[in-house]
Amino acid sequence: MGSDGILLIDKPKGLTSTRVVEKVRRKLRTKVGHSGTLDPLATGLLILLIGRATRFSWMFLNMDKTYLVKARLGVKTDTYDVEGNVIEEREVKVSCQEVEKALSRFVGEIYQVPPPFSAKKVQGKRAYKLARRGKNPQLKPVKVRIYELKLLECIPPHITIRMKVSSGTYVRSLINDLGESLSSGAVVEGLVREEVGPFSLSDAVPLERFLEADNPWDFVLPVERAFSFLPKVSLDYFNAKKVLNGNPVLVKEKAEGYVTIYIDDTFVGIGKVKSGVLKPERLLIPEGIQT
């Protein structure tokens, strides 16, 4: 049984990410954090960081994501999803070809305004708290990248889209903007997060199954498994001492960018290589290794 690692959870509908973290924390009786929230309406992949693995949350937050989105045309709500208050309903006179064409205009780098009911901060306060009080939070547009928008099913007013997007993309805003471009309005009916970076929903454990498990630690992956997609740099004793004390070192490996750092066969953290120089970013020094 370990005390540090990552846990891939299939989040059920109706729970906030914070509530999932609380349930897992009680089960494992250790520190737990998440690496990016999912709306209560959404289901799917939620990556939880266990113990000292919370130090690496920034790596997961910046990963691209893939979603399966069910949307309904002809409706506008204040939350941009079906659980909000209806602002307007319109007759849908849109063909599937028009939906395809509209989707293509959103692929690439775009600016989008976060939903009013979001955790984005406005002058130090959460936008959703201001929105609940009837105030209209003035949210600034953010730049995001939309890699792929694929229309899987189109039976107006219902459509299903698979989208691969950069970190920080608001799916509800994208659907709202799509509805505006079609002059019909649109809201999210259902949302499944299928992938976060190299991690897939198919590898996740349903929350209830995890909570009912006699040996829940069996589902927790070692931290180094989480970063197996990164190049590996192994250090000798002399360079290891420098890195463990936070100092940069020269390395022979030709890798550029983020790498995993190993001393012999022991994972000790994440670093960044630039022009042959390795700089430690986050360290996870195991017991028994002296600095």
Q: How many helices (H) and strands (E) does the chain have?
A: 8, 19
Global confidence as pTM: 0.88
Examine the pLDDT at 96 and tell me if it is beyond 60.
yes
How far, in Å, CA of 243 to CA of 259, rounded?
13
Marked catalytic residue, from 10, 39, 81, 177: 39
Bridge pairing between strands 232-235 and 108-112: unpaired
| Residue 4 bears catalytic tag | no
Instruction: Please provide the DSSP assignment of 132-177 as one string.
Output: HTT----PPPEEEEEEEEEEEEEETTEEEEEEEE-TT--HHHHHHH
The CATH architecture assigned to 5-63+198-224 reads 2-Layer Sandwich (3.30)
Answer whether 221's CB lies under 8 Å from 188's CB: no
The answer to whether 85 and 136 are in contact (CB under 8 A) is: no
The confidence score (pLDDT) of residue 135 equals: 54
**DSSP, res 117:** S
CATH of 230-283, one of 3.30.70.360, 2.30.130.10, 2.60.40.10, 3.40.50.300: 2.30.130.10
**What is the pLDDT, as a whole number, of residue 117?**
57
65-196 topology per CATH: Pseudouridine synthase (3.30.2350)
Return the pLDDT at 130: 41
How far apart are alpha carbons 104 and 166 in whole angstroms? 16
Note the pLDDT tens digit of each residue in 31-85.
999 888 888 899 999 999 999 999 998 888 889 999 999 999 999 998 899 998 8
Find the helix packing angle between 171-181 and 96-104, rounded to 10°. Answer: 120
Task: Show me where the domains of the chain are located.
Answer: 5-63+198-224, 65-196, 230-283
Same fold, 5-63+198-224 and 65-196: yes
The residue written with tokens 């990552």 in the block is 6
